[in-house]
Structure 1
Amino acid sequence: MDDSDGKIVRMKLSDQVFERLRELVASGELAAGDVVPSERVLMERFGVGRPAVREALQAMQSKGLITITHGGRSRVNALTAGIAFSQVDDIAKLLLSSEPSNVDHLKQVRHLLELGTVRIAAQKCRAADADDLVALIDKQRANLGSAEAFMKSDIAFHTRLALITGNPLIHSITEMMLTWLFEYHSSLLLWSGQEQKTLDEHVAIVNFLRANDDEGAVRAMDDHLNRANSRFTSSPAR
């Protein structure tokens, strides 16, 4: 590749092997669940040594493309939205902790996303979906008194709601976004007296979902998020 001075930069052998392997996955020659060829086969195919192959395979695993099993055969992973978003997890957490104002930006994104999500979910919600959400509310109620468990139950509720949309990108984004928010909001540990209100709002949202009332569901979610945002500060938890 060319750098800013126009000079040719030679790629490392391991990087070249990684690119070739990634192309095999992208083309479908190596499909989800397939066994990754042995190091010896890859060495012969690409004309490189074992160190380059091993480094490339480690890079493939770090990107979530394969799973290396010691003592067994490595396999190609199914490519999912969750794998894609997990690649930005560390960077996102660093961004939030280094610049607290980004938490407010993320809250704004959450508000926009969840209003759109609940509208789609209300249109598609089935009785089984609503029953699952009620069960999650019951689990959250059982976690009263434990801030961490209560927050995890809250994430589970909103993530299950996103699943109703049938859009894996919405589902994965929602789960990661809420995980980031809850990790970096120290004010979430100060929920005393507000837990029951949260549960009541979740029940109201589910009632609208069960009735396939998208307008009512959006209003209920908007009220829920506005109240939640009023409690939050931009101070990182750690």
Structure 2
Amino acid sequence: MNNISGNASEGERIVRRKLSDQVLDRLREMIRSGELKAGDTMPSERALMERFGVGRPAVREALQTLHTTGLITITHGERSRVNAIDAGMVLNQHDELARLLLNAVPSNLEHLKEARRMFEIGIVRVAAQSATPEDVAELRDLVALQRQRLDGPPAGFIEVDMQFHVRIARITANPIIHAVSEAMLRWLFEYHVALLHRSGEEEVTLIEHEGIVDQIEAHDAERAVAAMRAHLDRSRGFYEPHH
């Protein structure tokens, strides 16, 4: 005879879940299956209450969780609407966690710099192979704009620096690469103090950016990689955690 006495193991224990969590699972499945598509209005609270056989609090809590995670937008006085989901939106949801991660463990900043270096070296190789004249013209416009920011606040110069690198990522025509590049740069630039604003360094950055564009325009992948590697290695020490 089997002995069924004693405490239940963790895998056997039956856990009663909150109604709002169960409603949330159902709503996510409606979005995942395509029953609710980007741009659609969500069913009314009453319709959801009747469909799932639950009260208003459970429905409202589930809808609020969907809103917090970016799956829907709740606007006062209007029906909730399903959002379009892309890589950028997904990464944006993790900005605060990234900030905590980088500030809590100092070594993670070095890991982020290394990840960015590896990522951008791969990106610039693809950019040099596939850049169009329009891509090159827009990169040169950004270098010119960055030069105009030399006499202004450091934040303005750095903002265009970020736009320059993100624009190179866009040449790949890969929305995930574009979004990841933008997120990494945002975490690096926004959450850390730039030490770029020192005598002569801004001018060196502009010269290096011009050289990177030259190699992209020439479709010389190897020289573009070398130029990007040298640029990132030199600028690697320009970021430190907030204190």
| Cα deviation, residue 15, structure 1 | 0.9
For 1:67 and 1:123, locate their aligned partners in 2 and report how far apart those are by CA, in whole Å.
40
Q: Cα distance 1:5–1:215, how it changes in 2: closer, same or farther (>3 A)?
A: same
Please list every run of 5 or more consecutive structure 1 residues that lacks an aligned counterpart in the other structure: none
Deviation at 1:31, TM superposition (A): 0.8
Distance 1:169 1:17 in 2: 30
Q: Percent identity?
A: 54
The number of equivalent residue pairs is: 235
Structure 1 residues 191, 177: closer, same or farther in 2, change over 3 A? farther
Does residue 224 of the first structure (1) align with residue 236 of the second (2)? no
CA spacing shift, 1:46–1:191, aligned 2, 3 Å:
farther
On the 8 A contact 2:130/2:219 being kept in 1, the answer is yes
Report if aligned partners of 1:182, 1:188 keep a CA contact under 8 Å in 2.
no
Aligned twin of 2:189: 182
Matches within 5 A, 1:134-213: 134-145=140-151, 146-188=153-195, 190-213=197-220
Query: What's the counterpart of residue 43 of structure 1?
Result: 49
Q: In 2, distance between residues paired with 1:187 and 1:82?
A: 24
Partner of 1:95: 101
The alpha-carbon deviation at position 191 of structure 1 amounts to 3.4
- Which structure 2 segments of 5+ residues have no match? 1-7
Q: Relative to structure 1, is the Cα distance of residues 195 and 3 closer, same or farther in structure 2, using a 3 angstrom cutoff?
A: farther
Q: CA deviation at 1:232?
A: 3.1
**Once the 2 structures are TM-superposed, how far is the Cα of residue 133 of structure 1 from its aligned partner?**
1.0
* Separation (CA, whole Å) in 2 of partners of 1:3 and 1:167: 47
Do the aligned partners of 1:147 and 1:191 also contact (CA within 8 Å) in 2? Answer: no
- TM-score, with structure 1 as normaliser: 0.93
After superposition, the Cα gap between the structure-2 partners of 1:8 and 1:157, relative to the gap in structure 1 and judged at 3 Å, is same
Q: Which residue of 2 aligns with 1:115?
A: 121
* TM-score, with length taken from structure 2: 0.91
- Whole-Å Cα distance in 1 between the matches of residues 136 and 37 of structure 2? 35
Q: Which has the larger radius of gyration?
A: 2
Distance 2:44 2:108 in 1: 44
- Amino acid in the other structure paired with 1:65: L
**Preserved contact between residue 196 and residue 238 of structure 2 (Cα < 8 Å):** no
Q: Structure 1 residue 59: deviation in Å? A: 0.6
1:48 and 1:164 map into 2 onto residues whose CA distance is 49
Aligned Cα root-mean-square deviation (Å) = 1.7
Aligned position for 2:241: 236
Q: CA deviation at 1:67?
A: 0.9
Give the superposition deviation at 1:3. 8.4
* Structure 2 residue matching 1:186: 3-state secondary structure: strand
1:49-88 map, 5 Å: 49-88=55-94
CA distance in 1, matches of 2:242, 2:44: 45
* 1:97 alignment partner AA: N
Quote how far apart the aligned CAs of 1:183 are.
2.9
